[in-house]
Amino acid sequence: MTGTPGEVHLEVRDQVAVLTLARPAKLNAVTPAMTDALTGYVAGLTENPEVRAVVLTGTGRAFSAGSDIAGLASYDSPWQFGQRPDYCDAIRALAKPVIAAVNGHALGGGLELALGCDIRLAAEGATFAAPEIKLGWIGGGGMSALLAHSIGPGNAALMLLTGESVDAATALRWGLVTEVLPGPDLLDRAVGLAATIASRAPLAAQTAKRTLRAAYEMPLGRAIDYERQLQTICFGTDDAAEGRAAFTERRPPVFRGR
């Protein structure tokens, strides 16, 4: 299954979808048309039972430089700008696990896109920045909250208040990314990791994603209670029964997402 509306490409193979931002001449800066394409793809991927994990990456020198600055003048007012469809919201809306394969610069909204993914891998030459303050505003796609949760308030403040970039080694040390790889190995590693996730029980993987979000959105007691409730629901699925049977019979489980 493939598709190419605008400058966002989709390829699905073996239960893994790869979404690629493909506007390399503009560092994959996101236009309204690209936002529409991402939103449409996300809706389809969420509903597609054959897709169990997603990889998001870019082409050329950048993962994404965020919103296309040249297009921001088209908004008639700050209110209209603030109410526009947001590509970061689209990625966070994906119910399935998402891996960011950060192949180059992840700047502004591009960093927010990566932060909206569940796992982040980076190429050795990747850089990360929240440069909006240099232009007189701040990020609005979850930048402050997601950065603080990922790298701690002090490191987040350093990025938000200076707008300066950090390299992949620093991002790894701070916990912004999980692995740093040579550029040629990045996508293969991301797709391989997604394939491993896709081999697990899909309902359990989606539930785990929900409980991870609950871990920082809810007070501790409520988050644990929520996790226990979802565990109970998962325990009653056909996949859980299959997992127990496969363990007893010493064979690989065959999960069907039900």
The end-to-end CA distance of the chain, in Å, is 23
- Closest to 205 measured CA to CA, from 196, 192, 216, 214: 196
Q: Which residue among 7, 47, 50, 132 is the active-site one? A: 132
Strand order in the sheet with 2-3: 2-3, 8-13, 16-21, 53-58, 98-102, 119-123, 179-181
CB within 8 Å of 179: residues ≥ 6 apart: 121, 122, 172, 189
Residue 227 is a catalytic residue:
no
DSSP secondary structure string for all residues of 122-159 = EETT-EEE-GGGGGT----SSHHHHHHHHH-HHHHHHH
Beta bridge partners of 181: 123
Residue 15 region, left (φ>0) first, then alpha (ψ -120 to 50), else beta?
left
DSSP secondary structure string for all residues of 27-84 = TTPBPHHHHHHHHHHHHHHHH-TT--EEEEEESTTEEE--B-GGGGGG-SSHHHHHTS
Residue 132 is a catalytic residue:
yes
Q: Which residue among 7, 50, 112, 179 is the active-site one? A: 112
What SS3 class is residue 5?
Answer: coil
What tokens were used for 30? 């996101």
- Closest to 60 measured CA to CA, from 3, 103, 29: 103
Q: 137: number of CA atoms within 13 Å, CB side? A: 11
- Positions annotated as catalytic residues are 112, 132
